Amino acid sequence: MMWECNFENEPVDFKLLVLRFLRKIWILFLGILLGILLIGGGYFFKKVVLAPEKEYQVIAEIYIDYALAEGQLVESVCFNQTTWASLVKADIFTKEIADALKQEGLVVTPKQVAESIEGTLLSDVRIVTTTVTTKDPRLSVAMSHALQNALIHFGEEQKEIAGTRIITSPEEADIVIYDIRTTRAIILGGVAGGFLVLMAMLLSVAMDDSIYIPVTFERRYHIPMLGTLDSKELAANFAHFCKGCSSVAVTAIEEDIPVDEIAERLIEKDGIEVLGVGCVEEKPERVEELRKVDGVILAVASGRHDGKKIEKTIEFLKKQDIKICGALLWDADEGLLKQYYSLKMPGKKR
């Protein structure tokens, strides 16, 4: 019967997933913090630190009385919103306004006037709402008055307009308050940063083929694991799985796993002769040393991202007819193991 690895169909161990996630939850908080700094901090820097100079605004209203024939609707003769928006920026207005301001000692060009004024219709086609925005409150008020006077003069020259009158003409300018939503930017940054890091963490966990607990190794490779060097059941498992063997070799998946140290610890557990043989994946010729013993203990390091390397080593040993009695988890996280085997998951009974 051929040896088979079920890594592709391995079920998700939610208990292990939760424990590993909780141990790295600081990364999630770091992602949230970075999101806040990048998005929230960037927004604050742009909108507050690099905010433009203060601007002052005056909003005024002027009533247009259109000349209507009997039964004629005002909509048939009035200027529409688009017309007023472009009309107030025309030369006939900007030049008159610039000249009026010059007489008051305020020197601006017609182009600057056009960039500072707006005209529109809001609730009524007969009421033109004008808005003037500049960096000088005195200039904003003076320009607003000049704009209203220019509208009155314009109305006097138009046959469609019977008369004009000022409804509101403020004498003071209001400071422009921008809609700065730093709090929302901070929340957005935290959510975005946390979400991206969370997805990255889940993807990392899903793609990690490391061995962290013995049961994962047993489910995946169908080879019993003795435990760790600190496991209480190590001696009993070693005696059981190596029963009938007079000599056993410890070989490793990685070259840096101290097989001699593991062999000495196992000798203390039982009277079976135990020797250490280095990684056969690095030096396949070591398999000849393994043929001289009755069985092999495979030392697997915890959390090395070496699932495929383990699979390759086991496959090689099987092809060479080397008997694998069991495996041992080296450099295991004993705290994680203790939590895993003591934690009760919801819906499960002991």
Q: How many C-beta atoms surround the C-beta of residue 338 within 10 A?
A: 10
Strands 324-330 and 225-227: parallel
* Residues in CB range of 257: below 8 A, 6 or more apart: 279, 299, 301, 330, 331
In which element (H, E) is residue 314 found? Answer: helix 307-319
- How many C-alpha atoms does 293 have within 13 Å on its Cβ side? 24
Three-class SS state of 240: helix
Measured distance CA(197)–CA(212) in Å, rounded: 22
User: Which domains occur in the chain, in start order?
Assistant: 56-175 (3.30.70.1130), 210-342 (3.40.50.300)
Residue 7 has pLDDT above 80, yes or no: no
* Reported confidence tier of residue 284, pLDDT bands at 50, 70, 90: very high
Average pLDDT, the chain: 88
Q: Name the amino acid, one letter, at 246.
A: S
- How many C-alpha atoms does 196 have within 13 Å on its Cβ side? 12
Question: Of the ranges 26-30, 74-78, 86-90, 98-102, which one carries the lowest mean pLDDT score?
Answer: 74-78
pLDDT tens digits, one per residue of 86-141: 989 999 899 999 999 999 999 999 999 999 999 999 888 889 999 999 999 999 99
Please give the DSSP secondary-structure letter assigned to residue 22.
Answer: H
